[in-house]
Amino acid sequence: MRRTRKPTAEGMEIKMALFAQDMTVKELAGRINKSEATVCEVISGKNQSEKTRDLIMRELHLVAD
C-alpha cells in the first residue's frame, strides 16, 4: 500500500501552479535538474531544502526574480 502525504500550504501553491501551467512534477524536476521524488518531497514538506524550494518557486514564477 502506498502512503501519501498531504501537501503543505506552500506545496499546494506549487501544485496549483503546476496545474495552471499544464506542467507535470516530472517536467518540473527535469527543468530544475532534480529528481521527481525530491520535488514530491518538497511539496509534502518531507524535504525542507531551501535551495530546492527556491529553484521550484523560481521556475514556476511564484517569486520575483
50 Cβ contact list (under 8 Å, min separation 6)? none
Structure confidence at residue 5 (pLDDT) = 77
pLDDT at 4: 74
pTM of the model: 0.87
Q: What is the pLDDT of residues 36-51, one digit of tens each?
A: 999 999 999 999 999 9
Domain residue spans in the chain?
9-59
Beta-carbon contacts of residue 11 (< 8 Å; ≥ 6 apart): 42, 43, 44, 45
Structure confidence at residue 1 (pLDDT)? 61
Distances (CA, A) of 59 to 19, 39, 47, 51: 14, 12, 18, 12
With a cut of 70, which residues of the chain have pLDDT below it? Answer: 1-3, 64-65
